[in-house]
Amino acid sequence: MMTDIASALNGSVARGYEQLAETLEAELAADADYAFQLTAYRGHELVVDVHAGEGMTGDSLMVPFSVSKNSIAFSIALLVDRGLLDLDAPVAAYWPEFAAEGKQHVLVRELLSHQAGLPEALPALSDEEYADDRSGAARLAAQLPWWRPGAAFGYHGLTIGVLASELVRRITGLGLQAFFEAEIRAPRSLDFYLGLPEAEESRVLELQPMRASTSASPGDIPFPRQPGQIGRQVFGSIAQTRSGQEALAHARWQRSVGSPAAYSTVSARGIAGLFAEGVVGLTCPALISPHALQIMAQPQVVGSDLVIGIDRSYGVVFQKPTDNLAFGGFRAFGHDGAGGALGFHDPETGISFGYAVRRTPPPGGADARAITAAKQLQKIALAS
């Protein structure tokens, strides 16, 4: 049973989750500028559905940056589950042109866990090549890797969307956006759009930039904290990257394209709903079998990321929890976004979590308030 909240915090929480509402109300009292959505399921049950802040409703849509990558992960998981994609096969078995420049032995699981050495093209892909990802994919397929594939890993912040889309296209005949729409989003009526229809534009809430007084600290992807040489080459200057990404997030054409690495348009309900539908099913059976999800969530790489210069762990597309991104237990899987958004599922607790925030929190990446909420949900779930 959900309890309505009558305060600065709008929405409802299930009995037993009132402490989380109190924590969020305290966060609102401490920051009058705080505008967010948070939705969580435990198994099939909706346990939290709240929002607050100027202009924010439960139906508002925002660009969550790399939380978008969860759409890639579930699309790939569906192909694995159907036996159409073998993670241990060479990418070139599906996409022969990818074998160029010594990439003939790169495995699908390596490509999709940031090990392929293709974090960007040289020269960098243009906005048009990211939008028309077939042309971008052709350039990446022809490129010499930046490092020997499998020897290290580095965040393919935008290129993973191009690469995954071409892989899906070679198997199904559809690009990733079209496949996700037909097989996942539309059948489950999710607020998780890879290509926002014009009719939904009135729901869009533009993101707000990080406050100038705190923006001297570089943010998370696609705004690296401590990028090394490779990171600086991939992302350019922090200022250029941040302003460029924000401008693209506000562009109607970018929302209409819906590049799956960073430019979906979602609500917290859509993020949490994707995980809940994928793992347990809400109105229909689960989209993905437990075994396929276990394969996708199995850690592939752990350690220092060559591109962003901090410790990270990745499964197949999914991020895994680490000490500096502690959103769940060891088996949890999901992805954060540069602007503060976060989505994940934790098998230990059964929690499917979605969070979106309007203003980028310093220093970027998953909002610390989202991590706090995730930990509190974990504590409540394990105690009940």
pLDDT of 328 higher than 70: yes
Could you give the percent of the chain with pLDDT greater than 90? 85
Give residue-wise pLDDT tens across range 353-372. Answer: 999 999 999 888 999 999 99
pTM as predicted:
0.94
Residue 369 confidence (pLDDT): 98
Residue 347 confidence (pLDDT): 98
pLDDT of 26 higher than 90: yes
Q: In the chain, what are the domains?
A: 2-71+178-383 (3.40.710.10)
Give residue-wise pLDDT tens across range 46-63. Answer: 999 999 999 999 999 999
The residue-averaged pLDDT of 93-110 equals: 99
- Whole-number mean pLDDT of the chain? 93
pLDDT of 187 higher than 80: yes
Q: Which band of pLDDT confidence, cut at 50, 70 and 90, is reported for residue 96?
A: very high
Q: Which band of pLDDT confidence, cut at 50, 70 and 90, is reported for residue 240?
A: low
Residue 212 confidence (pLDDT): 57
Q: Which band of pLDDT confidence, cut at 50, 70 and 90, is reported for residue 6?
A: low
pLDDT of 75 higher than 70: yes
Pairing of strands 192-193, 265-266: antiparallel
Compare 8 and 275 and report the one with higher pLDDT: 275
Q: Which band of pLDDT confidence, cut at 50, 70 and 90, is reported for residue 245?
A: low
Q: Which band of pLDDT confidence, cut at 50, 70 and 90, is reported for residue 265?
A: very high
Distance CA 307, CA 175 (A): 27
Residue 221 confidence (pLDDT): 39
